[in-house]
A and B are shown apart, each in its own frame.
Chain A
């Protein structure tokens, strides 16, 4: 059996597909926790991208960026989940469509 050699493009495509799945998740689901998880998926897509480029150019700068992405994701998760808890405590729901307190 013959395979074409795996180039960084393959990884970039994988990353694009993963990103799209994340986008679908954000658009379709209304459960705010699932939304956050979809965003994490997109972060991961970005990271695969960065690491693939790092492998392509034989330089660790891509990986350094991925570290920053992970740090930002951690911060996002902490604050986001804090917001979710505060929201849940007030409204007893996780549906994002009911997050309309600031609607004019």
Chain B
């Protein structure tokens, strides 16, 4: 568009903007509508969670992890608790591990539901948004049945679980799996073979496998570029080693591939949940945990696969106090967001919105 070339326009997208998923701010330098440069400004939702955690005891921290990635609180809980368990070498009973897996996968579905809905909404497909929220509601109901909360679950305890599943919950989960499986084609009908959707997402924000690794991307972004890295498969935690599932990967690394990867993850999650429900062992739900959680001196890092990518916790304990000496999170949203300036360069304003959506960030986790 030669006519647009006369001036460079600085456009401030966010922190109040319908498609920056919270309070992300992107300062775009535009040539017409083409992005020639961008700065991503974060920190509008910074609450100092890492520092707060260094002043709470280990049990209280679980509550804080809820508030990082607030659309997939259960995986944050799980990641944190497993890190402490690793640090203290606590054995988790198999039933707890199975239920944790079910919770994590339900959470993955809910998070991907939210992602797909908002991503489609950003590109203009309004109906997909409401369909996804309709199904996400069912997951939230399951969580409500399990722990009483719908968003910040506090669902995992160090060493196991706070509660056993209520009676009949496994049947509900089964019914949900069957229902949800029949709903996935509805999304795909609206999007996967839709010409406009393809034109809006194919070859947009391509990132090669090497670049993706170099940028430290993880989760569906990395897999979309064709790298079959999944912590669930590579370094199994919870009960993933017991289950059969595939790791979907993309070929080109564009927005469409990332979309396909996530939709396939819906199906794989259902597969895992079904296996876990079928093979749910009997037994206790809490391992041998000391009354006062005071890990020995030392430090450890443990990562799990959150819906957004690899969420890792680093905890250093001095062995004396009941609070961590140093608490650090590797938030997948934050690391993945690094790719944004690279992804949007040379694309149009409309694609910026699509690409922010395709990274799947939660600003609560980016800023912490």
- Report if B214 contacts A (CB, 8 A): no
- Report if A85 contacts B (CB, 8 A): yes
A85 and B7 CA atoms in complex are apart in Å by 12
Cβ of A88: which chain B residues have Cβ within 8 Å of it?
A: 6
CB interface residues, A 7-34, toward B, < 8 Å: none
- Report if A103 contacts B (CB, 8 A): no
Cβ of B3: which chain A residues have Cβ within 8 Å of it?
A: 85
Interface residues on B, range: under 10
Give the distance to chain A from B306, nearest Cβ to Cβ, in Å: 50
- Report if A2 contacts B (CB, 8 A): no
CB interface residues, B 4-36, toward A, < 8 Å: 5-6
Residue ID in chain A nearest B5 by CB atoms = A89
A89 and B3 CA atoms in complex are apart in Å by 10
B-binding residues in A (CB < 8 A)? 85, 88-89
Number of residue pairs across A and B with beta carbons under 8 Å?
5
Give the distance to chain B from A49, nearest Cβ to Cβ, in Å: 34
Cβ of B6: which chain A residues have Cβ within 8 Å of it?
A: 85, 88-89
Cβ of A89: which chain B residues have Cβ within 8 Å of it?
A: 5-6
Contacts A/B (CB < 8 Å), 5 sampled: A85-B3, A85-B6, A88-B6, A89-B5, A89-B6
Cβ of B5: which chain A residues have Cβ within 8 Å of it?
A: 89
A89 and B6 CA atoms in complex are apart in Å by 6
Residue ID in chain B nearest A89 by CB atoms = B6
Residue ID in chain B nearest A92 by CB atoms = B6
Give the distance to chain A from B302, nearest Cβ to Cβ, in Å: 58
Give the distance to chain B from A82, nearest Cβ to Cβ, in Å: 9
A-facing mask of B150-194, CB < 8 A → 1, else 0? 000000000000000000000000000000000000000000000
Top 4 A-B pairs ranked by shortest CB distance? A89-B6, A88-B6, A85-B3, A85-B6
A83 and B212 CA atoms in complex are apart in Å by 45
A88 and B5 CA atoms in complex are apart in Å by 11
Give the distance to chain A from B3, nearest Cβ to Cβ, in Å: 7
A103 and B3 CA atoms in complex are apart in Å by 28
A89 and B2 CA atoms in complex are apart in Å by 11
A-facing mask of B296-324, CB < 8 A → 1, else 0? 00000000000000000000000000000
Give the distance to chain B from A61, nearest Cβ to Cβ, in Å: 38
Give the distance to chain A from B117, nearest Cβ to Cβ, in Å: 43
Give the distance to chain A from B268, nearest Cβ to Cβ, in Å: 54
Give the distance to chain B from A33, nearest Cβ to Cβ, in Å: 14
Residue ID in chain A nearest B3 by CB atoms = A85
Give the distance to chain A from B8, nearest Cβ to Cβ, in Å: 13
Give the distance to chain A from B1, nearest Cβ to Cβ, in Å: 12
A88 and B6 CA atoms in complex are apart in Å by 8
Give the distance to chain A from B19, nearest Cβ to Cβ, in Å: 32
Residue ID in chain B nearest A81 by CB atoms = B3
A69 and B6 CA atoms in complex are apart in Å by 31
Give the distance to chain A from B173, nearest Cβ to Cβ, in Å: 64
A85 and B5 CA atoms in complex are apart in Å by 10
Give the distance to chain B from A21, nearest Cβ to Cβ, in Å: 30
Give the distance to chain B from A101, nearest Cβ to Cβ, in Å: 19
Residue ID in chain A nearest B2 by CB atoms = A85
Give the distance to chain A from B4, nearest Cβ to Cβ, in Å: 11
